Amino acid sequence: MSATIIDGKLVAEKIKDEVREDVLNWISRGNRAPKLQVLLVGSDPASQTYVHAKTRDCGDVGIVSDTLILPDTVSQEEVCSVIHDFNEDPTIDGILVQLPLPDHITQLAIIESIDHRKDVDGFHPMNIGRLAIDQPAFKPCTPSGIMEIFKFYSIPVKGKHAVVVGASNIVGSPMAVMLSRENTTGKATTTICHKYTRDLTTHTINADILIVAVGVPSLIKSEMVKEGVVIIDVGINRLGDESLPKGYKLVGDTDFKEIVKKASYITPVPGGVGPMTRAMLMKNTLLAAKKSLYPTK
């Protein structure tokens, strides 16, 4: 079997083209351009790279973006105060706080301080709760991007056995909810695994669709999956490699070179899920500007 290598960049460009056209139509009707406000705490190189890519995508689709960088010594109260100002600013449609945060800052407290109507990451408890009961909400960008991949490649999900390895609030848990509940691209029978799961292979070997998001290089081996499985690898891990210009290479949570021989579809790392996450952020920011999910009274 020769797997179809899923081109996340291709799908992301399609989404971005749709957003770009919609933004132009929105502005042509007399509305201002949507605005995304980014908050970066500290100077983590990976976070800086992610923020740069997100703001570049904003420029590509006509969304205005602004980034405020605070030192990693800032207090939690100061961060919340800044976010309060963003919440009250009518020119800001979406707020994105780049994660992770310094250890002395409680991540949930920061997420909860964001107005859920501007929570374009889809992490606020209000949005997660509405997602769980199948109500309109901002959906976390990575899981919603994966659902778009299924739609683009006409990968059937309904009635399939989907296994999610990783139970984070950012990817794994909302992914499992969306797989089981989404009316148009979901309705799978879903199993969610985590670090306490005994004998992981007994679950992964039966998966029609396997989504892995744990941050462990090559955790999933070829013998752990069946022929024809659909593999979505969310992991992005840096492995040192002095032979490369950057001194490292990016690998996923699956053994790509071996599993590609058995899978029907598989995402590469990089170039698979990553571009989709950013594309869905653009889509959420436009939705926030339109106030279509949470209309103003």
Residue-wise pLDDT for 139-161, tens only, equals 999 999 999 999 999 999 999 99
- The domain limits of the chain are 28-115, 141-274
Report the interhelical angle of 141-152 vs 172-181 (nearest 10°). Answer: 40
103-130: pLDDT as tens digits: 999 999 999 999 999 999 999 999 999 9
Q: Do domains 28-115 and 141-274 have the same CATH topology?
A: yes
Averaged confidence pLDDT in the chain: 95
pLDDT at 94: 98
Q: Which fold has domain 141-274?
A: Rossmann fold (3.40.50)
| Whether residue 54 lies in the annotated active site | yes
Select the CATH number that applies to the domain covering 28-115 from these four: 3.40.50.2300, 3.40.50.720, 3.40.50.620, 3.40.50.10860: 3.40.50.10860
Task: Answer yes or no: pTM beyond 0.85.
Answer: yes
Q: How far is CA 220 from CA 35, 117, 226, in A?
A: 40, 37, 12
Q: What 8-state DSSP symbol labels residue 98?
A: P
Q: Of 16, 98, 139, 283, which residue is the catalytic one?
A: 98
Clarify whether 241 is annotated catalytic.
no
pLDDT value at residue 58: 97
Residue 187 among the catalytic residues: no
Out of 93, 121, 208, 233, the active site residue is 121
Q: Give the model confidence (pLDDT) of 220-242 as tens digits.
A: 999 999 999 999 999 988 888 88
Please return the burial class of 71, using the count of CB atoms within 10 Å of its CB with bins 0-12, 13-18 and 19+: exposed
